[in-house]
Amino acid sequence: MYLSHPYKFVTEWKCSMFDRGTNYFPGKFTADSKGYIYIACNTNYIRKSCIQKFDSNGNFIERLESEGDKSGQYNCIIDICTDSNDNIYIVDAGLSASANARVLKFDNKGQFLSVISEKEKRFFSGSGYYQIAVDIRGNIFINNDNLIRKFNSEGKFITRWKVLEGTVSDIELDSTGNVYVASSVSYSSDTSDVNGTYNLIDEDPFKNTIWYSSVSKFDSSGKILHKNLYRKKTKKYPAIDGIALDSHDNLFIAGCYETDILICDNKGTFIGRLGSKGYGKGQFYMPEDIILDKENNVYILDVKKHCVLKFTPKN
């Protein structure tokens, strides 16, 4: 059933901050089972990070910060998520572009628990784009270089699989542990091979570049369940930056260059939209990330307005 706008706007709050001469800007965020929102903030020019904690209505609770490159410290948070026990996992890029990424685990008060990546350092060499998700059993799924790797709760490697196409922008898990992978790939429309297929290009899109953005679904062992559960062709930059799932495993798709949030069921059927683009109250301009809490409230992180917007189901 198609629902035009099944959610209503509730509130929004600013989440950028200025401290000791440094501006911190939001990048990724997550929620725990109690509805607390954790926003990873980084600086633009030097590698410094902090995590801001808010309640579900945007009231500031505390700031979590541990700057450095020792165990339990971080400098550049690439992604953040929580597990079923409300522990916080972050991917830290380190002090420099050549530093190895680390996966750090904290409790919900910011107390350091462990370095998940220590037991499998061979999988965390070099920098890159990392995304992380944790299932209800504590298994950890991490993407890097378009390889999804699965570890147990202690950080021991279990399995891995290659993403079907393009560059991964987000990963998410449903209620049964299936893995949803958002990715984008670009092709030049004026150069094709003998079979008529487009050649892959690596840099920013040019005049005749076409982007394909998609979400594919795998089981927890990497078996493909649905290739291109969602797929969109565009001449703009990639259409997907963040994905999220509600308690019914409906898929929410956010993109910085999109005018609204798309909603599909778990078979890829389009069922609705959320929000609109703009600078007005309840509007977003560059929705970089999206999450849902256990009450199916939707939170959108706008990296242009530097704010979080909250929407709630109408029914």
**Cross-strand pairs, 42:** 25, 49
Report percent pLDDT > 90 for the chain: 45
Nearest to 116 by CA among 95, 138, 85: 138
Q: Which of 6-10, 184-188, 203-207 has the lowest mean pLDDT?
A: 203-207
pTM: 0.87
Mean pLDDT of the chain: 84
Q: Once rounded to an integer, what is the mean pLDDT over residues 46-69? A: 87
Per-range mean pLDDT, top range of 6-20, 30-44, 87-101, 177-191: 30-44
Q: Is the pLDDT of residue 122 over 70?
A: no
Question: Residue 201: pLDDT band by 50, 70, 90 thresholds?
Answer: very low
Query: Phi/psi of residue 199, each to 5°?
Result: -85, 140
Half-sphere exposure of 166 (CA within 13 A, CB side): 23
Query: What structural domains and CATH numbers belong to the chain?
Result: 7-313 (2.120.10.30)
Q: Is the pLDDT of residue 187 over 80?
A: no
Residue 125's pLDDT is 56
The amino acid at residue 11 is T
* DSSP-based three-state secondary structure for 244: strand
**Cross-strand pairs, 143:** 131, 148
**Cross-strand pairs, 276:** none
Residue 24's pLDDT is 77
The two tokens of residue 87 are 């522990």
d(CA 277, CA 241): 15
Confirm if 213 and 238 have CB atoms less than 8 A apart.
yes
